[in-house]
Each structure stands twice: as structure tokens, then as C-alpha cells.
């Protein structure tokens, strides 16, 4: 008992130590908050600028508009050849096709890589990993010629069909990693109960893969919604323009005169990503942490 | 969000291209006692199943990836344009040497990559180290720092950047409060690339998340042992954290270099698709787009695409070669 009381530091030293720790922690939080503010300020400012009158965008770095110009949103929505919902609809069509394509095709390939034995599996797996790193710029020109010959330029097919063919190998890899972590005993139990490969895939693996599927769906949404390069190349028709293309059109045609409306539509474009970020952050972080790709 | 939500990073799995093996401890897959006939039917059934599961991916590989790659290589030796093209041998590659815009675009891409990637990774590592201390509200800060990297690739952010660094933009408004008259950053040839570099650094969130996951993997016993030996904070960082984190640093480095060589959207939007002012933001990818899809010199554009691939491949290979000298994979294997 005596030794125990002796090892305790005197009360005064303890409180002194606690207060320096508290101070350090306070300074830490202060610095972190300052850094976070710098990081996030441009976003907040854009949100406020979307509600500011034009002259204030160029004169007031603050966040509170003097008058709330909700009209910016109405103006931006209707200023392009089509009302903005048309572009949102086009974007959503592509996004929906891409998500369905990636979920089905990538999970099928991943099941084969993770669970089935077949000749040259190692080689195919290495090729699959290699294609993750392949720049789109290397294949885009022949792809364009191919889709042009098929008459698919100025349709949505060039943006959806590749997803149905598991060309986003990143997600194959993500799901292979995930399926490898599932106990094989489940497959064997299913096989003993008379489940074939398709049954095992559909009834055992897929339900257990929900977290990986959610990660895939969220990332596909964000990447496709944000995608600019391939939409720029394949969609020249005004009726097929998507949200990023519409924003670019907006900026080049009248961005200089109606920044408020342009920012308003930019906020509309970022909204869904922000929503997914809030709702699916867990899956996003998991996806990055296991595979390392934004 | 709890700590458990960050999934385990297994660097040895991520960095190796090794074929997937059955999980350790899984029972031997072949039913040894089965008669040969049954064994082979099972085997061939499994192969057919594999083929059917793989078929979308295989078709995609051939039609969307490998086929176009081969075609692109062939096109790079032709003067293909809008349906017509003849074999011109190495002329496209010859032409590059006398093309000032191409040389400029290589320079711009190189400066962009080799300035922005180290800065971005340094910011990511610094913030990861700070957030790893288990402060209260850590997941909030992590979200705030991560958000820009989700949004950063979008057209909307590029539009915002253009205004923020414009003549009357947010940055200059703030500078004016301190009595400084700022430049029109995005319209000045000396600074335009700098704003794009800053935009890239701003998206340090995703490498930061990877660093955080890597820091979690360092066993606390190493720190305890170092403490017992009298190592201070700095010493523990230099001798424990840094060496054990080198595989993650290497991984982030490879990935970010590959990514930044391919940047397109931000430069395209900020410069209205022209790579200006005075070609100061003319990324290789922008020049490729200009040649291939504006002027329809698809043969030459294919040659540029292969140049890009070669540059990326060379730097990735160099990265791997140099990794032998600084990446620490543990000495138990």
C-alpha cells in the first residue's frame, strides 16, 4: 500500500501536467481548425456566392450575402438551351447504367478470380491489375473510332457499355480482396447443399458482399457524375449534354456575366456528391483504405 | 465513425501482383479420394463456370482495352484522320522533336507532377500524423480534409478555382484587405500552372486516408520499446514511424504520379480548353485532345498517347528501382 501511494506523483504536479496537456491539446485543435477552415473556405464561399448579387461576388470575401439572391438559381436553371433538369436526367441515366454495369460485371469477374480455379488465372489477374493503371488516353482514340463505326457517338452507349464489360478493373480488384476475406466454409456448405457456382455466387457471396457493393456503387456514382473527359468526347449533341458539359457550356458562353447563376448550378452539380459523401463516408474510407485509389 | 471502420490495409497484398491464393487455413480444395473421372468433370465444370463468370470482363479486355491498345500503337505509325490514313513509319515520332507545343506540354506536365505530388504527399502525411494522435473530433477533421479530394476532379470546382484565382477573385479580395494588389493568377503565364498545382495539393485527402490506415498498422509495442530505450518524439518518428511507413509512402507516390500525369479536367476548364495563357497549362493530355479531337490528327495523337504511356511507365519503373534504396519491408522475410 505504501509503495502504491509513493508512485503516485504529488497532486500539484499532476494538475500542472494535466493543464499543459490541456493547453497543448487546445493549440492542436486551434491549428487543426484553422487548417480545416482554409481547406473548406472556398467551398463555403462558393455556396454563399451562389446567393450573392453579381457585384458582391467580386468585392466581398465574406460568407453572408447582403441580399439573398435566390433568383441566381432560377436564372442558372433556365439559361441554357435546355432547362437544367434535362442535363441532370442525362447524367443520371449514365450513372444508373454505369452502376448496374459495374455491380454485375465486376462482381462476376471478382467471384471467378477469388474462388474458382482455371488455367492462367494468375496471368489474367496480373493483366487485370495492369489495366487499373492504364491511362484512358492511350485507348481513347481507337475506342472513339470503334464507337464511331458502330454509330454510337452521340449516344449514351459508349459511356455505359464499357461498364457492363467490367473495364473499371479497380472494382474487380476491390471485390476480389473482399471475397477472399469471406470464409470458404460457406461455399463448401452451399455446395454440399446442392448449390452450383451460380447459386453460390447469387445466394452466398453477393449478400455477404454488400459493403463492397456499396463502395462500388458510391464510387461509380461519384466518378461517373464527375466524369468530364469521356463525356466531352462522346456527347456533342446538345440534347445529350450532361451536368459537367452543361457547366462548361455555361461558363464559356456567359459565365463572365452571370457568375452567380453559374455558381448556383455548380452547387447543384456538387450537391449529390456531397450527399453521398455524408451518407456513405464509411464505405468511401474503406474503399480507399483497402485499395488506395481515390 | 469508429476506428474499426477503416479497413485493414495489407501492403503486401496491395503491392504484389501475385495471383490470388485460397485463404490460409482453407482445406485442400481437390477432393483427393474422388475417382479420376469424377475429378475431371468437377474440374471442367469449374472451368466452364469460370469462363462464364469471366466472360464480360474478357470481352471488355479484348474489345475495350487490348484491341484499342494495339490499334492505337498501329495508328501512331499512320497519318490517320477521319477515316483515311496511310502508313508513315516513324514520322509522327520524328515530328515530335520539332513540335514546340509538344515539348512545352511535356515540360508543363513534368513541372506539374514533380511539384504537386511531393507537396500533396507531404501535406497528407503531416495531417495523417496529427490526426493519428486520437484527438477528440478526429473523424470530423478527417471528413473535412477528405471532402476536397472527392470534389476536386469536378468541373464545378475547376470553375470555382478560376474565379477564386481570377483578377477580381477571392484570393485578390483577401489580399486587398492587406493592401496587396494581386495578379490575375489564372490569366498570367507565370502563375496559371501554380494555381493548378495548388488545386492538386488541395486534394490531399485520399492519400491522407491511406497514410492514416498505414499508421494504424504500426504495432504500439515498437513505440513502447523505443520509449523504454529513451527515444523522444522526433526520434520515434524518424526511427519507428517513418521506416515502417515507407511502403505506404511508396504506394502513394507511385499512384499519385501516375494520376497526375493524366490530369485533364482542371487544366481544360481553367484555360477554356486551350491550355493557355501562352500554353503555360498545356498538359500533355490537353495537347492530345487538341490534336486528336479538335484537329483530328488521330495518328499523331496516338503517338502522343504512347509517349504519355512511355513516360508513365518509365517513371513508375524508376520508382520501383529506387524503392530498393529507401522502402523498408521489414527484415523478417
ipTM summary value = 0.85
**Has residue B234 been placed in a domain?**
yes
Of A131, A269, A286, the CB nearest to B7: A286
Return the closest-CA partner of residue A168 out of A236, A230, A220, A207: A220
Q: Which of residues 92-151 of B touch A (CB under 8 A)?
A: 127, 130, 133, 135, 137, 141-151
Split at pLDDT 50, 70, 90, the class of A16 is: low
- Residues B74 and B66: their CA atoms lie apart, in Å, by 12
CB contact under 8 A, B160 and A263: yes
**pLDDT reported for residue B3:** 38
Residues B115 and B238 both lie in one domain: yes
Mean pLDDT of the residues in chain B: 85
Task: Tell whether the torsion through CA atoms of B88, B90, B94 and B95 is positive or negative.
Answer: positive
Report the domain count for chain B: 2
**Has residue B29 been placed in a domain?**
no
**pLDDT reported for residue B261:** 94
**Has residue B75 been placed in a domain?**
no
Low-confidence stretches of chain B (pLDDT < 70) are: 1-39, 330-333
| Contact indicator for B158, B265 with CB cutoff of 8 Å | yes
What pLDDT, in 10s, does the model give residues A94-128?
Answer: 999 999 999 999 999 999 999 999 999 999 999 99
**Has residue B27 been placed in a domain?**
no
CB contact under 8 A, A165 and B63: yes
Residue A141 Cα to chain centre, angstroms: 26
Residue ranges per structural domain of chain A: 82-291
CATH code (residue B120): 1.10.3720.10
Residue B78 makes CB contacts below 8 A (sequence gap 6+) with: B85, B86, B87, B88, B299
> What superfamily does domain A82-291 belong to in CATH?
MetI-like (1.10.3720.10)
**Has residue B26 been placed in a domain?**
no
Q: Which residue of B has its CA nearest to A40?
A: B144
**Has residue B22 been placed in a domain?**
no
Residue carrying the nine cell digits 452539380: A269
How far does B332 lie from chain A, in Å, by closest CA? 23
Residues B296 and B148 both lie in one domain: yes
pTM of the model: 0.85
Split at pLDDT 50, 70, 90, the class of A255 is: low
Split at pLDDT 50, 70, 90, the class of A9 is: very low
Residues B156 and B44 both lie in one domain: no
**pLDDT reported for residue A154:** 93
What pLDDT, in 10s, does the model give residues A52-107?
Answer: 888 888 888 888 888 888 888 998 899 888 899 999 999 999 999 999 999 999 99
| DSSP bridge partners of B78 | B87
Structural domain ending residue among the three candidates B69, B90, B122: B69
CA dihedral B266, B267, B271, B273 (to 10 degrees): -100
- Residues A126 and B150: their CA atoms lie apart, in Å, by 28
| Contact indicator for A260, A52 with CB cutoff of 8 Å | yes
- Residues B10 and B217: their CA atoms lie apart, in Å, by 9
Query: Given CB atoms, is A233 within the 8 Å cutoff of chain B?
Result: yes
Query: Given CB atoms, is B301 within the 8 Å cutoff of chain A?
Result: yes
CB contact under 8 A, B308 and A177: no
**pLDDT reported for residue A291:** 58
Residues B199 and B61 both lie in one domain: no
Residues B179 and B315 both lie in one domain: yes
Residues B188 and B318 both lie in one domain: yes
Q: Strand runs (DSSP E) across A190-250, as ranges? A: none
Residues B121 and B43 both lie in one domain: no
- The residue range of the domain holding B283 is 99-326
**pLDDT reported for residue B220:** 86
Query: Given CB atoms, is B57 within the 8 Å cutoff of chain A?
Result: yes
**pLDDT reported for residue A139:** 93
Return the closest-CA partner of residue A91 out of A196, A242, A226, A256: A242
Residues B120 and B242 both lie in one domain: yes
**pLDDT reported for residue B15:** 39
- Residues A115 and A131: their CA atoms lie apart, in Å, by 21
**Has residue B167 been placed in a domain?**
yes
pLDDT of A233 higher than 60: yes
Residues B133 and B254 both lie in one domain: yes
- End-to-end C-alpha distance for chain A, whole angstroms: 56
Best residue of A33, A123, A134, A137 to probe chain B, by most B CBs closer than 10 Å:
A137
Quick one: what percent of chain A has pLDDT higher than 70? 89
CB contact under 8 A, A293 and B22: no
Residues B106 and B156 both lie in one domain: yes
**Has residue B201 been placed in a domain?**
yes
| Contact indicator for A102, A216 with CB cutoff of 8 Å | yes
**pLDDT reported for residue A288:** 65
How far does B174 lie from chain A, in Å, by closest CA? 6
How far does B165 lie from chain A, in Å, by closest CA? 11
Amino acid at each position: 500500500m505504501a509503495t502504491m501511494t509513493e508512485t503516485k506523483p504529488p497532486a500539484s504536479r499532476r494538475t500542472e501536467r494535466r493543464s499543459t496537456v490541456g493547453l497543448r491539446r487546445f493549440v492542436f485543435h486551434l491549428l487543426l481548425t484553422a487548417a480545416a477552415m482554409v481547406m473548406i473556405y472556398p467551398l463555403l464561399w462558393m455556396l454563399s456566392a451562389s446567393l450573392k448579387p453579381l457585384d458582391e461576388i467580386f468585392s466581398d470575401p465574406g460568407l453572408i450575402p447582403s441580399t439573398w439572391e435566390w433568383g441566381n438559381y432560377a436564372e442558372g436553371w433556365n439559361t441554357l438551351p435546355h432547362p437544367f433538369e434535362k442535363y441532370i436526367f442525362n447524367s443520371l441515366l449514365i450513372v444508373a447504367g454505369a452502376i448496374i454495369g459495374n455491380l454485375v460485371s465486376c462482381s462476376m469477374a471478382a467471384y471467378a478470380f477469388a474462388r474458382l480455379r482455371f488455367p492462367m488465372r494468375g496471368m489474367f489477374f496480373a493483366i487485370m491489375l495492369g489495366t487499373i493503371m492504364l491511362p484512358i488516353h492511350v485507348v481513347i482514340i481507337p475506342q472513339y473510332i470503334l464507337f464511331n463505326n458502330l454509330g454510337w457517338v452521340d449516344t449514351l452507349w459508349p459511356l455505359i457499355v464499357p461498364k457492363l464489360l467490367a473495364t473499371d478493373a479497380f472494382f474487380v480488384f476491390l471485390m476480389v480482396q473482399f471475397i477472399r476475406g469471406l470464409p470458404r466454409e460457406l461455399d463448401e456448405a452451399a455446395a454440399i447443399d446442392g448449390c452450383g457456382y451460380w447459386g453460390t455466387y447469387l445466394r452466398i457471396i453477393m449478400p455477404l458482399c454488400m459493403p463492397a457493393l456499396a463502395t462500388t456503387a458510391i464510387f461509380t456514382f461519384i466518378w461517373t457524375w464527375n466524369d468530364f473527359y469521356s463525356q466531352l468526347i462522346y456527347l456533342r449533341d446538345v440534347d445529350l449534354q450532361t451536368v459537367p458539359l452543361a457547366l462548361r457550356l455555361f461558363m464559356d458562353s456567359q459565365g463572365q456575366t452571370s457568375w452567380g447563376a453559374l455558381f448556383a448550378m455548380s452547387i447543384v452539380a456538387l450537391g449529390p456528391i456531397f450527399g453521398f459523401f455524408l451518407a456513405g463516408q464509411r464505405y468511401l474510407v474503406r474503399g480507399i483504405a483497402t485499395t488506395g485509389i481515390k | 465513425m469508429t476506428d474499426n471502420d477503416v479497413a485493414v490495409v495489407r501492403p503486401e497484398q496491395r503491392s504484389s501482383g501475385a495471383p490470388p491464393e485460397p485463404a490460409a487455413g482453407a482445406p485442400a480444395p481437390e477432393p483427393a479420394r474422388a475417382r479420376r473421372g469424377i475429378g475431371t468433370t468437377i474440374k471442367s465444370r469449374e472451368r466452364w463456370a469460370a469462363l462464364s463468370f469471366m466472360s464480360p470482363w474478357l470481352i471488355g479486355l479484348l474489345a475495350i482495352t487490348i484491341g484499342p491498345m494495339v490499334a492505337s500503337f498501329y495508328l501512331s505509325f499512320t497519318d490517320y484522320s477521319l477515316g483515311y490514313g496511310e502508313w508513315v513509319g516513324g514520322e509522327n515520332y520524328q515530328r515530335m522533336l520539332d513540335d514546340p507545343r509538344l515539348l512545352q506540354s511535356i515540360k508543363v506536365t513534368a513541372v506539374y507532377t514533380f511539384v504537386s505530388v511531393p507537396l500533396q504527399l507531404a501535406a497528407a502525411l503531416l495531417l495523417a500524423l496529427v490526426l493519428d494522435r486520437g484527438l477528440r473530433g478526429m473523424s470530423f477533421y478527417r471528413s473535412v480534409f477528405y471532402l476536397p479530394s472527392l470534389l476536386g476532379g469536378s468541373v464545378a470546382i475547376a470553375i470555382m478555382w478560376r474565379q477564386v484565382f481570377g483578377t477580381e477573385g477571392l484570393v485578390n479580395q483577401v489580399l486587398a484587405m492587406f493592401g496587396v494588389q494581386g495578379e490575375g493568377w489564372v490569366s498570367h503565364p507565370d502563375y496559371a500552372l501554380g494555381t493548378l498545382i495548388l488545386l492538386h495539393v488541395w486534394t490531399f485527402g485520399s492519400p491522407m486516408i491511406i497514410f492514416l490506415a498505414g499508421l494504424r498498422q504500426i504495432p504500439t509495442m515498437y513505440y513502447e520499446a523505443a520509449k523504454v530505450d529513451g527515444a523522444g518524439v522526433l526520434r520515434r518518428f524518424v526511427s519507428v514511424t517513418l521506416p515502417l511507413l515507407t511502403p505506404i509512402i511508396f504506394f502513394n507516390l507511385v499512384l499519385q504520379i501516375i494520376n497526375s500525369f493524366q490530369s485533364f479536367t482542371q487544366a481544360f476548364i481553367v484555360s477554356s480548353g486551350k491550355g493557355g495563357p501562352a500554353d503555360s497549362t498545356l498538359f500533355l493530355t490537353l495537347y492530345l485532345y487538341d490534336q486528336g479531337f479538335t484537329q483530328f490528327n488521330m495518328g499523331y495523337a496516338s503517338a502522343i498517347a504512347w509517349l504519355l504511356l512511355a513516360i508513365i511507365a518509365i517513371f513508375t519503373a524508376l520508382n520501383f528501382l529506387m524503392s530498393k534504396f529507401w522502402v523498408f519491408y521489414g527484415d523478417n522475410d
